[in-house]
Structure 1
Amino acid sequence: MTQAPAESWTTRRLLAWMTKAFEDKGLDAPRRQAEMLLAHVIGCERLKLYMDPDRPASPLERDTLRALVKRALNDEPIQYLVGEEHFFGMTFKVDRRVLIPRPSTQTLVEAVLQHARKNPDSGSVRDSDAGSGILIADICTGSGCIAASLAKHLPGARVVATDISEDALAVARENIARHGLADRVDLLQGDLLDALRHHPAAGRDRSLRYLCSNPPYIPDHEWDAVEPNVKNHEPTLALRGGADGMDLIRRVIQFGPDFIEHGGLMLIEVAACHAEQARQLAESHDLLTNTRVLRDSDGLPRIVVAERS
Structure 2
Amino acid sequence: MPRIPTRLIVEAYQHDALLPLLLRECRTLDSAKHELRWLREHALRVKSEATPHFSRTLLRTMCVARSKGIPLQYILGDQPFGDLDIKCTRGVLIPRQETETITYHAAKLILDKLSKDGGGGIDKNRPLRIIDLCTGTGCIPLLLHSLLSPHFPKITITGIDISTVAIGLARENRERNVRLGLLSKRALTDVNFQHGNVLEYADHTSALNKVFQDVRVPPSPHLDLGCDVIISNPPYISPQDYRNGTTSRSVRMFEPKLALVPPEESSTPLLGERNFQIEDLFYYHIAAIIAKCMVRLTVLECGSRLQAMRVATLCRNILQKRSETSGATISVWSVTGVDTHPYAVLIQMSLNNKGPCQGQQR
- TM range, smaller chain: 0.7 to 0.9
Quick one: which of 248, 257, 264 aligns to 1:227? 248
Q: Is the 8 A contact 2:25 2:67 kept in 1?
A: yes
> Does the residue aligned with 1:101 lie in a helix, a strand or coil?
coil
> Does the residue aligned with 1:199 lie in a helix, a strand or coil?
coil
Q: Is the 8 A contact 1:213 1:267 kept in 2?
A: yes
Question: How far has the Cα of 1:195 moved from its partner?
Answer: 2.4
Residue 187 and residue 198 in structure 1: after superposition, are their counterparts in 2 closer, same or farther (change >3 A)? same
What are the within-5 Å matches in structure 2 for residues 41-56 of structure 1? 41-43=43-45
Question: One-letter code of the match for 1:164?
Answer: I
Residue 161 and residue 5 in structure 1: after superposition, are their counterparts in 2 closer, same or farther (change >3 A)? closer
State the number of aligned residues: 282
1:305 matched to which residue of 2? 346
Question: How far has the Cα of 1:21 moved from its partner?
Answer: 4.8
Whichever of the two has the greater Rg, that structure is: 2
* Percent of pairs with identical residues: 22
1:26 matched to which residue of 2? 26
Question: How far has the Cα of 1:202 moved from its partner?
Answer: 6.6
> Does the residue aligned with 2:231 lie in a helix, a strand or coil?
strand
Q: Is the 8 A contact 1:217 1:242 kept in 2?
A: no
What are the within-5 Å matches in structure 2 for residues 46-125 of structure 1? 58-119=52-113, 121=115
Question: How far has the Cα of 1:117 moved from its partner?
Answer: 2.7
Which ranges of structure 2 fall in alignment gaps of 5 or more residues? Answer: 118-123, 179-186, 199-207, 265-277, 350-355, 357-362
Instruction: Output the CA distance in 1 between the equivalents of 2:285 and 2:109.
Output: 24
Question: One-letter code of the match for 2:197?
Answer: D
Question: One-letter code of the match for 1:291?
Answer: I
Q: Is the 8 A contact 1:107 1:303 kept in 2?
A: no
Query: Cα deviation per residue 1:17-57 (whole Å; 9 max; x = unaligned)?
Result: 6566534543584444333212211119xxxxxxxxxxxx9
Instruction: Output the CA distance in 2 between the equivalents of 1:84 and 1:212.
Output: 23
2:175 matched to which residue of 1? 177
Question: How far has the Cα of 1:197 moved from its partner?
Answer: 3.7
Question: One-letter code of the match for 2:331?
Answer: R
Instruction: Output the CA distance in 2 between the equivalents of 1:131 and 1:142.
Output: 31
Which ranges of structure 1 fall in alignment gaps of 5 or more residues? Answer: 8-12, 45-56, 124-129
Q: Is the 8 A contact 2:194 2:214 kept in 1?
A: no
Instruction: Output the CA distance in 1 between the equivalents of 2:126 and 2:43.
Output: 42
Residue 202 and residue 147 in structure 1: after superposition, are their counterparts in 2 closer, same or farther (change >3 A)? farther
2:233 matched to which residue of 1? 214
Q: Is the 8 A contact 1:216 1:245 kept in 2?
A: yes
1:265 matched to which residue of 2? 297
> Is residue 2:215 matched to residue 1:199?
yes
Question: How far has the Cα of 1:293 moved from its partner?
Answer: 1.1
TM-score normalised by length of structure 1: 0.81
> Does the residue aligned with 2:255 lie in a helix, a strand or coil?
coil
Structure 1 stretches of at least 4 aligned residues deviating more than 3 Å after TM superposition: 1-7, 17-32, 297-301
Instruction: Output the CA distance in 2 between the equivalents of 1:43 and 1:257.
Output: 50
RMSD: 3.1
Question: One-letter code of the match for 1:269?
Answer: E
Q: Is the 8 A contact 1:210 1:260 kept in 2?
A: no
Question: One-letter code of the match for 2:192?
Answer: D
TM-score normalised by length of structure 2: 0.70
Query: Cα deviation per residue 1:91-136 (whole Å; 9 max; x = unaligned)?
Result: 100111210001111232122221133246379xxxxxx9953010
> Does the residue aligned with 1:169 lie in a helix, a strand or coil?
helix
Instruction: Output the CA distance in 1 between the equivalents of 2:27 and 2:294.
Output: 40
